[in-house]
């Protein structure tokens, strides 16, 4: 029998574990460790180890409750920060390279599965479909797409390994290439950078300013997240399943994303200034911890072949993205930032943007937000294409 069985006790344990991880992350001695192994890995694998050691159970009513009710709430709160009007001001070169990177992820994933499918498990398309969500915007999309299409928990853990090893490895390559950006820009025929003025505008905009958290704002976040998430859940249950990808919960994710985007145009979006996305991330990480607690540590043996798929996948993405960037005569700054905005999302895109051009972090952040928006829909598209390929 596991040491902890009561759902409330499991909840307290998992929240405490996440808190401990982020406490350790803030300490000076752990900076290099968390640069190599990011928090998302710890949030998933420490609960997995806890279950392996008999501390937490593999099954609990808490796990299904968190998946059903916290994921929709998290997506609503995370999408409040989507400044669509500012994204539109990025211009055709930035939007074109971003879309080129996204298309590269879609095609790269489908081609890689077609080539390696014979050596992968039967449900590999589900895991890779979830990974496509992460590589078009970040972890939130990975969890949303993966949960919607029913990725088994062990396979989800393998995808996190691929996401970290291949994704962060590619980030290192992108940063290395920054030393050659002047030569590459000249080769691409670049004559001007279209984002200088926008970066300054974003850095000084109202949306970049934070406000102190009040109790009324806090309770409003809870109402908006849980209320609209619950309504989207019930609406999704009334819609028919469309194959193995767009299930009733898949409809919930689509509906809740549309609700979150719609609210980003309203005064409700001011909640982001007081930390709505932080609450959304807390819900998301708790969901990730419960997924880890249900998984089997032995599934990591599947990782090597999936790592090979990931390397080929990123190679195809890079080839398509660079071809689009050359066609648009886009600077390497935009090409590199677009790639990281897809694969790393809002966390690492500003870092890459700053490496290429100082003061451009706001542009990287904005492109990361765009990736977060695109990831849900293109993630479902990629998963559906992979499901068709898996039948061949």
Q: What is the pLDDT of residues 69-105, one digit of tens each?
A: 998 898 888 888 777 777 777 778 888 999 999 999 9
pLDDT digits (tens, 9 = 90+) for 291-323: 888 876 766 777 889 999 999 999 999 999 999
Give residue 230's pLDDT band: very low, low, confident or very high (50, 70, 90). very high
What is the DSSP code string of 313-372? HHHHHHHHHHHHHHHHT--HHHHHHHHHHHHTTTTTHHHHHHHHSTT-HHHHHHHHHHHH
pLDDT of 166 higher than 60: yes
Residue 69: its pLDDT value, please? 92
Higher pLDDT, 44 or 124: 124
Q: What is the pLDDT of residue 333?
A: 86
Backbone angles phi, psi at 246, to 5 degrees: -90, 80
Quick one: tokens of 237? Answer: 């249950």
pLDDT in tens, 363-379: 777 788 888 888 888 99
pLDDT at 6 (0 to 100): 94
Radius of gyration of the chain (CA): 20
Q: Is the pLDDT of residue 351 over 60?
A: yes
**Under a CB-based contact definition with an 8 Å cutoff, are residues 117 and 389 in contact?**
yes
| Nearest partner of 310 among 109, 173, 152, 151, judged by Cα | 109
Provide the token pair at 80. Answer: 């409040």
User: 70 and 286 in contact (C-beta within 8 Å)?
Assistant: yes
User: Please, are residues 151 and 126 in contact by the beta-carbon 8 Å criterion?
Assistant: yes
- Residue 228's pLDDT band (boundaries 50, 70, 90)? very high
Interval 28-48 mean pLDDT: 84
- Between residues 86 and 356, the one the model is more confident about: 356
Q: Would you tell me how many other CB atoms lie within 10 Å of the CB of residue 134?
A: 30
Q: Specify the pLDDT at position 365.
A: 73
CA–CA distance, 25 with 302 (Å, rounded to integer): 29
Residue 169: predicted pLDDT: 84
pLDDT at position 359: 64
Task: Flag whether pLDDT at 221 surpasses 90.
Answer: yes
Binning pLDDT at 50, 70 and 90, where does residue 185 land?
confident
* pLDDT value, residue 364: 78
**Average of per-residue pLDDT across 33-59:** 86
| 197 — pLDDT class (breaks 50, 70, 90) | low
pLDDT at 196 over 60: no
User: Taking the chain, what is the end-to-end CA distance rounded to the nearest angstrom?
Assistant: 43
d(CA 99, CA 323): 12
Q: Quick check: 10 pLDDT over 90?
A: yes
pLDDT tens digits for range 260-275:
888 988 999 889 888 8
Q: Please, are residues 349 and 340 in contact by the beta-carbon 8 Å criterion?
A: yes
Give the pLDDT of residue 202. Answer: 56
- Check: CB of residue 341 under 8 Å from CB of residue 106: no
pLDDT of residue 303: 80
Residue 26 carries which DSSP code?
T
Q: Which of 147, 129, 202, 138 is nearest to 362 (CA)?
A: 202
pLDDT value at residue 313: 96
Report the pLDDT averaged over residues 353-357.
79
Distance of CA 263 to the CA centre of its chain: 20
Confidence of residue 183 (pLDDT cuts 50, 70, 90): confident
Burial class (CB in 10 A: 0-12, 13-18, 19+), 28: exposed
By the 8 A CB rule, do 360 and 354 touch? yes
């Amino acid at each position: 029998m596991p040491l902890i069985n009561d759902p409330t006790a499991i909840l307290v344990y998992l929240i405490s574990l996440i808190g401990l991880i982020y406490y350790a992350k803030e300490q000076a001695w752990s900076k290099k460790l968390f640069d190599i192994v990011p928090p998302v890995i710890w949030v998933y694998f420490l609960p997995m180890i806890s279950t392996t050691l008999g501390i937490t159970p593999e099954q609990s009513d808490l796990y299904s409750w968190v998946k059903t009710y916290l994921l929709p709430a998290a997506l609503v709160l995370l999408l409040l920060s989507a400044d669509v009007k500012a994204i539109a001001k990025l211009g055709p070169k930035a939007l074109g390279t971003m879309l080129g990177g996204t298309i590269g992820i879609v095609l790269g994933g489908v081609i890689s599965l077609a080539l390696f499918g014979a050596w992968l498990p039967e449900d590999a398309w589900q895991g890779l479909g979830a990974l496509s969500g992460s590589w078009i915007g970040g972890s939130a999309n990975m969890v949303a797409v993966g949960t919607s299409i029913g990725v088994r928990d062990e396979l989800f853990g393998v995808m996190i390994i691929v996401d970290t090893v291949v994704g962060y490895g590619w980030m290192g390559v992108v940063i290395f290439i920054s030393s050659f950006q002047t030569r590459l820009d000249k080769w691409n025929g670049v004559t001007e950078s279209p984002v200088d003025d926008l970066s300054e505008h974003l850095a000084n905009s109202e949306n970049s300013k934070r406000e102190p958290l009040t109790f009324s704002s806090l309770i409003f976040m809870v109402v908006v997240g849980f209320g609209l998430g619950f309504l989207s859940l019930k609406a999704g249950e009334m819609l028919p399943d469309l194959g193995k990808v767009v299930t009733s919960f898949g409809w919930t994710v689509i509906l809740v994303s549309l609700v979150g985007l719609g609210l980003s145009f309203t005064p409700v979006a001011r909640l982001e200034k007081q930390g709505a996305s932080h609450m959304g991330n807390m819900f998301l990480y708790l969901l990730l911890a419960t997924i880890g607690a249900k998984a089997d540590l032995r599934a990591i043996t599947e990782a090597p072949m999936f790592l090979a798929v990931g390397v080929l996948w990123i190679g195809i993405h890079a080839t398509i993205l660079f071809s689009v960037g050359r066609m648009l005569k886009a600077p390497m700054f935009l090409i590199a930032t677009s790639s990281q905005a897809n694969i790393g999302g809002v966390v690492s895109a500003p870092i890459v943007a700053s490496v290429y051009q100082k003061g451009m972090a706001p542009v990287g952040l904005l492109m990361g937000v765009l990736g977060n928006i695109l990831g849900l829909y293109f993630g479902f598209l990629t998963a559906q294409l992979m499901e068709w390929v898996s039948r061949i």
